[in-house]
Copies of this chain bind each other. A is one copy, B any other.
Amino acid sequence: MALGKDYPGQDCSLSRALEMLGERWTLLVVQNAIYGVRRFSDFQVRLDIPKAVLSDRLARLTEGGVLEKRAYQASPVRYEYVPTDAGVELWPVVYALGVWGYRHIGGEPPRLFRHAECGAALLPSTDCSACGPVHPRDVEMYPGPGAKRTDRVSQAMNRPRRLLVPVELEPQA
């Protein structure tokens, strides 16, 4: 969406945010990063995203300070992409858009969220209905009736789990 062609002349914070996040796939990558997806191949499996686009999006998000790229092993060197603080602060955006999609476009919710400390559901905002504002690390995600994907990464995410905790795959059968 952006890539050299910005929203020219806009004085708006929203347009600046969309420069970074508004391209196709970008916000889905960020969402999955918050859900704990870390590795190139895991993003690819879960999103069915063309490799060239994923490569571009990860690079731009890294450059823009939303994700951090780091080697999690040497020889062979392998990379993971971890949300920065700025990335974690996109949780309200991702959640609000998801709630809107569920409410106004329909279908079953594929994932539900509750405050891990007290078990209460989140509001339409990311606040806990009992305790108020909740950091995403204290949010537990569990599968809802709309969960349909069967790839290995999605399966690993189908157990109740906290946000931001890295997804670990089962060793392959």
Which A residues are within 8 Å of any B CB, using their own CB?
1, 7-25, 27-28, 31, 47-48, 65-66, 86, 89-90, 92-94, 96-107, 109-111, 124-127, 133, 146-149
Are the C-beta atoms of A24 and B1 separated by less than 8 Å?
yes
Are the C-beta atoms of A15 and B1 separated by less than 8 Å?
no
Cα A106 to Cα B22 in complex, Å, equals: 17
User: How many chain copies?
Assistant: 2
Are the C-beta atoms of B47 and A105 separated by less than 8 Å?
no
User: Are A28 and B7 CB-contacts (below 8 A) given A97-B21, A100-B89, A104-B65?
Assistant: yes
User: Are A90 and B100 CB-contacts (below 8 A) given A14-B28, A107-B16, A109-B13?
Assistant: yes
Query: Which one of B12, B22, B126 contacts A110 once the chains associate, using CB atoms below 8 Å?
Result: B12
Residues of chain B contacted by A22 (CB below 8 angstroms): 22, 24, 27
Residue of B nearest to A20 (CB): B105
